[in-house]
Amino acid sequence: MARRPPAPVSPLPQRDGIDPVHVRLPLDGAWPTVRAYLEERYGTAAGPGRIAVMLDAGEFVGPDGPVTAGEPYRPGGHVWFHREPGPPEPVVPFPVEVLYRDERIVVADKPHYLATTPRGRHATETALARLRRDLDLPRLSPAHRLDRLTAGVVLFVADPARRGAYQGLFERREAVKTYEAIAAHDPAVTLPTTVRNRLVKDHGRLDAYEVPGEPNAESRVELLEARDGLGRYRLAPRTGRTHQLRVHMNGLGLPILGDPIYPALLPEQNSEDYRRPLQLLARSLEFTDPVDGTPRRFVSGRVLAAWVDPVGWRG
């Protein structure tokens, strides 16, 4: 199958480190105008009359300028627009530390509670948006992602021409990631062990869950040390399914401390307690640089609070 040509460069600038929405008009479209397509796709979410107002204001832009209300539909065309700002996002009160930066990559040490990239209600308060603004790198992009509640090492690509090379490290499982977690210590659980199963994460459902079938998730779990009923664990995922480590630890009977989903879903009002973050940290990332062959290893400088001060963490 022939690959679609890349989209043209957006005529709209970023806002607060957030890219405009890019719409590629379907090739099999039968709409009489671009407006008709936009109304069908976005009208319900935008609200009655809102698409017309945005068109009149020139907020939908094509490669040649603002889209007019009567502009004919052209299959395969491109349209950009900025999402309307929602309520102010709560500021995540922890910094993103930069571990390394050169002309090709930026390696960050992400705090708990900060999403890696814009998604859902998290947009400006994300590691990507902050780094784009703080480092003046508007074309910065992620090579991979960490869960919002997980802290630790994340690789970003500063040179757009090299994005595919660095993303490929993760797609081919050539990047070696290790994590640390704090959970209860149970001497009855035999460790080290390798957990393999098939995990599914449905759209709109918060938790991932195991189903019968060929394994698609694999994690190595070992106990590093234990004290006062807690264990510090080293986790080495071979795959990267959503919530994989959290589900695997919970399946061993060792749910990670501070997890608002596993083993039980907490009420939303209790899931954002900055004093008790999920005790999961992406400790290190290793790979051979795909551009120059240099061995790379980056280590988080963060600590897991429940291990350093278990009494204080529990409150």
177/42 Cα distance (integer angstroms): 39
CA dihedral (217, 222, 224, 225) positive or negative: positive
Query: Any bridge partners for residue 155, and if so which?
Result: 107
209/200 Cα distance (integer angstroms): 5
- Residue 73 φ/ψ, nearest 5 degrees: -75, 130
Task: For residue 112, give Cα distances in angstroms to 59, 140, 218, 252, 304.
Answer: 35, 21, 24, 24, 10
**DSSP category for residue 188:** T
Active-site entry in 147, 228, 289, 309: 147
- Does residue 145 contact residue 131 with C-beta atoms inside 8 Å? no
33/180 Cα distance (integer angstroms): 54
H helix intervals, 206-309: 244-251, 305-308
**Closest residue by Cα to residue 219 from 203, 199, 239, 204:** 239
Q: Is residue 102 among the annotated active site residues?
A: no
- Does residue 46 contact residue 57 with C-beta atoms inside 8 Å? no
Q: Which phi-psi region, left, alpha or beta, contains residue 280 (left: φ > 0; alpha: ψ -120 to 50)?
A: beta
Active-site positions read 147
